[in-house]
Structure 1
Amino acid sequence: MVLSSDNARFSLEKTPPSFVLFGEPTEGLRPIAQALPGVLQAKGYRLAPTEEAPRAVLNFIRADRPTPYRRKAQGTMVVSFLELPEVPQDPIAALYSYLVRALSNMLVVYVPGWGAHFLTLELGQYHEPEGPGFMERVAERIHPIASSVLVVHNRFEPDLEPELWQGDELTESLSAAGRRLAEWDLLPAAFPIEEILPPEDLRHVKRLYGIGGLSYGNLSVRKDERRFWMSASGVDKANLREIGRDILLVTDYDPLENAMRLSVPPHVEPRRVSVDAIEHWMIYREHPQVGAIIHVHAWMENVPSTQFNYPCGTYELASAVAEKVREAPDPSRAVVGLKNHGLTITGRSLEDILERIQGRLLRQVPMS
């Protein structure tokens, strides 16, 4: 599915995305819980039966009890709705824990009479004022989340060549680049997930997604025509050492399983590769001259940007970024802005990228 600015804001797959409602809405959220399903259905969504694993969940939570929806499948996206008397002065610091505790991809904070504040895992945030067309605008804001297809399943194949079990010069360059990005403070942890989630919920997240924590940024380097080394999900990018745990060799994408294929040492219990592996895979396959890719939560002025705020690890975000790389004057040295998110930067090597971005990055990502 690709959304075009020349067409309607909603462009759905042949199989309509499904959704369910979960939780008990507060008095202020009750009108949203009653009206939003009809708006989504008019746009082509389908209300799923309770026994089905839906594409999206509208989860209504309370400040004193942000109950999570326990996903039956990795590909389910959760949008949680919370009513508050006002939005805190620092929304990210005050609200991000609700987002994580409710195991959500997006948090919608509704303030009666004021409107809604939206916050995503990638720190995208924006406001929709209450008034004419409010429910339509809420539906448009959650659509990129609710309709996206996650590519987070990994298929590990214990067939990595023994001579690569300890890495090679390329993995050394990956480790060195990770250390430099950390020195520039460009790979922060979002929030200490183990401090926010109770043990049961933390186990659920790790079991479902195989992550070690929440962190921003990733990097990769091409190994050969079809393979590339990439940082693992949720690891300390400043300390990339163990092959199969901190750094993984991506060999392919399997569209039938919707899974990334990875070659790992047979004696290692592997971690999942970064959720952006599908994006890097698309770029490497289309542009043989690209030798490395870095993604950071920072910004540069006057860069082309994706139009929609798709979540990390989705096929839609990967396609949108790949399209912008394709349109660049030199795809091997492209800089692409990810809406409300950060940058993906291609280069002929990791050193090439680091030289080009040093001193040019803005720490504040513009939100819209």
Structure 2
Amino acid sequence: MKNFTITGAEKSPFLTWFTEGLKDKFSTEGYEYYEEPVDDIRLVFNVIDQEKPRPFRRKAQATFVVSILEKEEEPENAFEFAYPYLIRSLANHLIFVINNGEKTELYFVTPEQGFYKMTYQSEEEMPFFQKVYERLEPVASSQLVINNDFIEDLPKDLWNGNEITEKMRISGKKLDEMNLLPAPVPLEKYLTPRDMRQLKKLYGIGGLSYGNLSSRHDDKSFWMSASGINKADMRMIGRDILFIKGFNPEKTTMEISVPPNISPKRASVDAIEHWMIYKEHPSVGAIVHIHAWMDGVQATEINYPCGTIQLAETVADLVRKADDPSRAIIGLKNHGLTITGHNLNDIFDRIEGRVVSQVPML
């Protein structure tokens, strides 16, 4: 259901005008407005206060929250200032408004470090709200696949891994040695333990990560690094390295085989993307995702959230269109790279010396 609400802190005159404009635009586009949020509300615009940025407490994982923060003076670094408020308010997106009377600028910030700027011109009111809608709606309506079904049916001869997982351990160390930055701020610094649990539950974030890697097992399954682990020390099957057996479209969950009597880690949110690529391209033997960049890569157009079907479909489509899908390098706009290869060594050999840690803001 396409519905939405507006909630949060007291609004300034500008934010009153801005949120009314959002209300009119989304209503015109077929979203039903609710004065009070219902349990299954799809989209929430949550105005937050700089001193006490209160999160909107979701009742459903599918609820997409856009926090809105206004400031009169422009900080020295808008991104570094705004990003912690995205995290503190447990939002999927942040609109950071700088409104000093002379000009109004909007910055759109995502958990994946997406960062976009838009300037408001008073004589262009309708195009302005159209641009805001076109920026937000595709990501707000995207569908997350971050839940896991853990099934204790991993064959006994795989409980300690195999040659494939041993190669993944070695590649995990290579990934760690690239010294990529996982995120611009340490989440634990800004969130209480309760909010960290909420963040993990809602977004599938299990810790800071600079990437992930996977390797094909057979035509139906693959091994993948778990979420939020130390890639340089991947040891335990079912905890550090997971056996992804499939995707359940009815429950929108990844199905994971684990050994008995183990507390498994969650799969990386990118598991749905890897699954789509392996399913379509038998020649792909391994996939690496890194929060870094390379010159000359083709990138996605929309900054869909990680772990959504829409991002996975977009990346899979670009892999399909590549000259050689089995050795493709795809850019995820303002976020990082997904790289396919015949095996993990093939991928690391091809990217050695070509990767830059700073992802450009496109």
Q: Indicate the TM-score class for this superposition, using the shorter chain for normalisation.
A: over 0.9
How far residue 75 of structure 1 moved from its aligned partner, in angstroms, is 2.3
Structure 1 residue aligned with 2:232: 238
Could you tell which deviates more after superposition, 339-348 or 236-245? 236-245
Does residue 22 of structure 2 align to residue 36 of structure 1?
A: yes
Instruction: Report the residue type matching 1:256 in the other structure.
Output: E
How far apart, in 2, do the equivalents of 1:310 and 1:46 lie?
23
Q: Is the 8 A contact 2:215 2:286 kept in 1?
A: yes
Size of the alignment, in residue pairs? Answer: 353
The question of 1:201 aligning with 2:195 is answered yes
**Cα gap change, 1:72 to 1:259, in 2 (>3 Å):** same
2:324 corresponds in structure 1 to: 330
SS at match of 1:58: strand
SS in 2 for 1:29: helix
After TM superposition, the structure 1 = structure 2 runs for residues 271-282 of structure 1, keeping only pairs within 5 Å, are 271-282=265-276
Q: Name the CA shift for 1:102/1:44 in 2 (closer, same or farther; >3 Å).
A: same
Aligned partners of 2:313 and 2:262: how far apart in 1? 32
Deviation, 1:67, is 0.6
What is the CA-CA distance between 1:235 and the residue it aligns to? Answer: 1.8
Query: Offset of 1:189 from its aligned partner?
Result: 4.6
Structure 1 letter corresponding to 2:284: V
Give the one of 47, 60, 64 matched to 1:60: 47
Q: Cα offset for 1:92?
A: 3.1
Amino acid at match of 2:57: R
Provide the C-alpha distance between the structure 2 equivalents of 1:248 and 1:255, rounded to a whole number of angstroms: 19
Other-structure match for 1:18: 3
CA-atom RMSD, angstroms? 1.7
Give 2:117's aligned residue: 127
Cα distance change of structure 1 residues 209 and 107 upon mapping to structure 2, 3 Å threshold:
closer
User: What amino acid does structure 1 have at the position aligned with 2:84?
Assistant: S
Mapped contact 1:57–1:78 kept (Cα < 8 A): yes
Aligned pairs (5 A) from 1:31-180:
31-47=17-33, 50-112=37-99, 113-131=103-121, 132=124, 133-180=127-174
1:343 aligns with 2:343: no
Q: Percent identity?
A: 50
Equivalent residue, structure 1, for 2:254: 260
TM-score by length of 2: 0.93
Quick check: 1:152–1:260 contact (8 Å CA) kept in 2?
yes
SS at 2:182 equivalent = coil
Verify the 8 A CA contact 2:300 2:332 in the aligned structure 1: yes
Q: Residue 50 of structure 1: CA displacement?
A: 2.7
Unaligned runs of 5+ in 1: 1-15
Specify whether residues 344 and 270 from structure 1 end up closer, same or farther in structure 2 by C-alpha distance, changes over 3 A only: same
Runs of 4+ in 1 over 6 A off after TM superposition: none
TM-score by length of 1: 0.91
